[in-house]
Structure 1
Amino acid sequence: MYIDSFDIKKIDMKLGAAFSKCNYDNMSDELKALMENACNDVIKTASPKAVFEVFDIDSICEENEKVSFADTEFILTGKSICKHLKGSKKAVFMAATLGTDVDRLIKKETVSKLEYAVFLDGLAGALVEMVCDETEKIISDTYNPGSMTYRFGLGYGDLSIEYEEEFLRLIKAGSYLGLCVTESNLLIPCKSVACIIGLRY
């Protein structure tokens, strides 16, 4: 499922609430203004999008540390992903991004306003996670699982990040989100997430 319509005002309110985690109340007026401007610029510049596909889990073999999925030859290996998906009937392959304009904004400000760029980078990171939160709600409403695991990113634990390219191809993240992987396995646009969620019934 492709999602390109998010309630930005709702997410904006959550992003504002994140200020408290940055010791906002104890900041100088100058820093507060800088952070608020950064928040506004990130919200204005971002083009949040997400895509996900749900796969039935064919088997989880903890002995061989492999997880296979129905209707695809894609296999993940590692103790951590086996543990993460244990007890799940389905797996959600999900990706989300804020788009390339946010990357350009951060890069531009890094040259002349490093402090401002740091705020932009942190807020953009928080924003893409909030986009993932909203996408999870859609997944939950659509598939109505008994419970969902947390988001497990490729490259976490002993799950190789080298699966990322094939993972993105399976969910057509390149076509829908313009998402790609560099030779060093970094996601482009940078403010993007690729993750796996288990659905338990």
Structure 2
Amino acid sequence: MVNQNEILRYLGASTTNDTLDALISRAREAVEKAMRPRHLVRHISLQVDAPLETVILAGTPLPSRDLAQHLQGCQEGFLFACTLGPDIDALVKRYTLTEPAMLPVIQAVAAAYTESYADEAQRPLEGYAQERGLYLRPRYSPGYGDFALHYQRFLFDALEISKRIGVTLTEDFIMIPFKSVTAVIGLSSDPSLCHINKCMTCTAKNCPFRKEAE
């Protein structure tokens, strides 16, 4: 079950009321009916080159200081992708035309469900790590820090995302369906670097969806 507070966070709301609760309930029902979640995972070797400027993922060098710092100490990890499916985009379009006031609620609920599904799809990876005495670093996606959005192309090719789960990439490296996630997940022997929330791994300090440190 998606946490209500996560939906409120995506809405930029700190409190709720009966009217908003009713809208969220409607949006939940619509999103749950429309979503067709799918995901992909690929286990890879990785190497962080000194002086923390390039990461080599499955043999491919990707220059990014922020990703290198995030994955420092990792020698293996996962490429990850998930989507709620194309019917969510159709749902958003329908509300855009028929009930615009409902649109931000639908968007917030869909975003929260995307993150929740990504977390659920990651559970087997947590088991894999635990069996080996390792720990998962938080997901790190193209667009975070200096891990440029154009690295989506690497993830799409490495995972065959379009072929296998039907997500496509525009010329501007935007994913369609929109409620989709790609990420790199490192495996580390150091637990102290793995218990930070996802927002702390992103350098966008002014993001309206940023959480305070836990």
Tell me which interval the TM-score lies in, with the shorter structure as reference length: 0.7 to 0.9
Moved over 3 A (4+): 15-26
Per-residue CA deviation, residues 149-176 of structure 1 (Å, 9 max, x unaligned), is 1111112111111111221111121122
> Is contact 2:49–2:55 with CA below 8 Å preserved after alignment?
yes
Aligned match for 1:101, one of 83, 87, 91 = 87
Shift of 1:19: 5.3
> Is contact 2:52–2:68 with CA below 8 Å preserved after alignment?
no
Shift of 1:20: 6.4
| Aligned residue runs from structure 1 range 34-45, under 5 A | 34-45=23-34
Residue 114 (structure 2) aligns with: 128
> Is contact 2:36–2:85 with CA below 8 Å preserved after alignment?
yes
| Structure 1 residue identity aligned to 2:35 | A
| Structure 1 residue identity aligned to 2:114 | V
Counterpart CA distance in 2 for 1:105 and 1:180 is 18
Shift of 1:24: 8.3
TM-score by length of 1: 0.84
Change (3 A) 1:165 1:133: same
> Is contact 2:52–2:72 with CA below 8 Å preserved after alignment?
no
Gaps of 5+ in 1: 1-12
> Is contact 2:135–2:188 with CA below 8 Å preserved after alignment?
yes
**Equivalent residues, number:** 185
Change (3 A) 1:166 1:18: closer
Q: CA RMSD in A?
A: 2.0
Per-residue CA deviation, residues 123-150 of structure 1 (Å, 9 max, x unaligned), is 1000010111112211111343521111
Shift of 1:16: 4.5
Counterpart CA distance in 2 for 1:154 and 1:26 is 33
Gaps of 5+ in 2: 190-214
Per-residue CA deviation, residues 78-125 of structure 1 (Å, 9 max, x unaligned), is 110110110112121101100000011011101221121111100100
| Structure 2 residue identity aligned to 1:180 | T
TM-score by length of 2: 0.79
Shift of 1:179: 1.1
Change (3 A) 1:78 1:18: closer
